[in-house]
Chains A and B, each alone.
Chain A
């Protein structure tokens, strides 16, 4: 019997890892659809960001309630993984609580701590469900979340609650079995801190019932973990992995700095100083200005899209969104991910990308959204996982204006004024120092 369980376990684990690895390769491929971003300077500042922003969750602490609850879930997730290591080894070797004999009294303390974390995770997730579905926090209920994103968020929270409940029930059954000195159930020497409270409720079940309960919980728990692992890549929950590299590759220069377009800089230079222009015509290869589709963006923009937790902190502070405009920086990120995944499926089907007549610009993100942005950087500042929605907005705007000549009439007038009068308004350059003359006369 034991050996059957072991074989089943190894097969399950192998399948989970295989499927996950395949999906990881796909995500990697999709991110690499983006252009090279040349980000590798200043590693010490980058590691600092990983520590502060990813491990330390610095930006989360701008809002205390969700920060603390989220911290429990995060700490629980990371630390309980140590126990999962034991569970996996037990599964492979057919042992039970493999680490217990080696750790002695420390084992109980460790499991006790894990249990407290598990209980905190359970309670936090329950509160999160309430905030989402009963209190209906605005940022967690805006239009772009309708359908799958909402289901996704709730599914994760419910899964977490179920997993934690299974873990605690398993330990409670286990404790009863230990008390009965049942063979295979190593006596760890005392009730665990949380499951010890539920253990008495199960004491009447008898040995057979308890073993069945313990085994069922054990299997459901670990199978749930494997399922969760494979669900991650389809979910906003991918941020638990990508938040770390995303913090590493976060922008280090001041937020106000826009990326330079070297090709246009050169074009202007050659126009003004023709002697500097390269003589070989090959240099003038045709290219696209700004971004029309996801493969015109940088790979960092695309990793941003996969890292987005759909938390809406960006949208909640966006002046355009607050005042009822269509723009939502969260939607910019969700659209980018959706389009990237669509492009990925297209490649899977056709071996290489075959034009599907669609693009990120227009089919996903409208001009109205793009034009509403004030470039205020509030979204960038607010994002807890170092995402820069503004970078995408500005690249799409460049495409709109330079490739499609698609600008509101007032902007076209402003362009004309800058070109002809050297100011965005229709004033004569001769009047530029009128204020100084007035001062002189005063």
Chain B
């Protein structure tokens, strides 16, 4: 399977339907690369015409902005917007809620206006349009699944239902954690915490969240964010449950059910 870059589309003189913004985690982090590949396979399979930016993609500046470094954020945003506008990008899909949030809410003020979709919403639309058809029963039919709302998709942007609708389409038995939807508990990675040690405390946030997820008795913890996925996997390992409980992005679950 060959994934075309924007530069290749440009050379052919055609515009893809959508740009797949991979994000730094999805590009470099080994665990997150699996999510990226799964989503790319879904797009390929249903025949969506999509491009990536390839080596031209850059950090959106989210961790810089959230930690207080507005200069660096503005630099990154400037460069990204030049690039995206240069290619005439209209529509972006991304598997990272941090990238999603910053494109949707913060780039427009800087001259970067795009239709931005999170991959769980995109997948949900493909299911609704009958383009994604799960193989008989789906790989997770009847399985006990719990779903972790990421802060940047949930509270930050009020998207709670699309990912759940995808899980529903896979016929899973969804068991909600007590803290879910607007009350969902953070995985501990946001606000650039991912890139530093925790401040002194008596517990790590991902452990607190993982304990809650494990208490549901689910065999899969479904997530929608590469950072949450990493955090929760670390938590599951810490609790020595990795043989019984998987942490999977919704795209990975769908890819396995095709």
Contacts and interface: CB of A to CB of B under 8 A. Distances in A.
Interface of A: 62, 253-258, 260-261, 264-265, 267-269, 272, 289-290, 317, 319-320, 322-327, 368, 371-378, 380-381, 394, 397-402, 407-408, 410-411, 413-415, 418-419, 422-425, 427, 429-436, 438-440, 442
A255 B156 contact: yes
Nearest to B66: A375
A326 B198 CA distance: 11
Nearest to B184: A378
Contact of B203 (A62, A324, A326, A439): A324
B61 interface: yes
B205 A290 contact: no
A323 B101 contact: no
B72 interface: yes
Contact of A400 (B68, B74, B184): B68
Which bucket holds chain B's interface residue count? 35 or more
Given A376-B191, A410-B195, A423-B28, A433 B54 contact: yes
Contact of A323 (B152, B156, B208): B208
Minimum-distance CB pairs A-B, first 6: A256-B156, A324-B202, A401-B68, A375-B191, A397-B68, A324-B201
B73 to A, nearest CB: 8
Interface string B42-66: 0000000000101101110101111
B115 interface: no
A411 to B, nearest CB: 5
Contact of B28 (A394, A401, A432, A438): A432
Interface stretch (B33-41, B119-127, B133-141, B167-175): B33-41
A418 B3 CA distance: 25
Contacts of A254: 101, 104-105, 156-158
B205 A424 contact: no
Given A324-B203, A411-B69, A435-B22, 5 more contacts: A256-B152, A257-B156, A268-B74, A423-B28, A435-B33
A319 B155 contact: no
Contacts of B160: none
Given A265-B74, A374-B190, A378-B186, A432 B67 contact: no
Contacts of B72: 415, 418-419
B5 A62 contact: no
B196 interface: yes
B65 A258 contact: yes
Contacts of B191: 373-376
A272 B110 CA distance: 14
A254 B159 CA distance: 11
Nearest to B65: A258
A319 B33 CA distance: 27
Contacts of A267: 71, 74
A290 B58 contact: no
A402 B205 CA distance: 27
Instruction: Determine which residue in A255, A325, A374 has the highest number of CB atoms from chain B within 10 A of its CB, and name it.
Output: A374
Contacts of A268: 71, 74-75, 78
B189 interface: yes
B213 to A, nearest CB: 14
A318 B200 CA distance: 15
A261 B208 contact: no
Contacts of B189: 374
A431 B54 CA distance: 9
A381 B209 CA distance: 18
B196 A410 contact: yes
Contacts of A410: 195-197
B144 interface: no
B193 interface: yes
Given A374-B188, A381-B155, A423-B28, A418 B33 contact: no
Given A377-B155, A402-B69, A424 B195 contact: yes
A411 B27 CA distance: 20
Contacts of B58: 422-423, 429
A326 B199 contact: yes
A418 B2 CA distance: 28
A351 B1 CA distance: 73
B155 A272 contact: no
B71 A264 contact: yes
Contacts of A407: 67-69
A396 to B, nearest CB: 8
Given A257-B106, A378-B155, A440 B2 contact: yes
A401 B58 CA distance: 22
B68 A394 contact: yes
A436 to B, nearest CB: 4
A380 B154 CA distance: 13
Interface string B96-124: 00000100111001100000000000000
Contacts of B85: none
B208 A325 contact: no
B143 interface: no
Contacts of A433: 3, 5, 27, 52, 54-55
Contacts of A431: 27-28
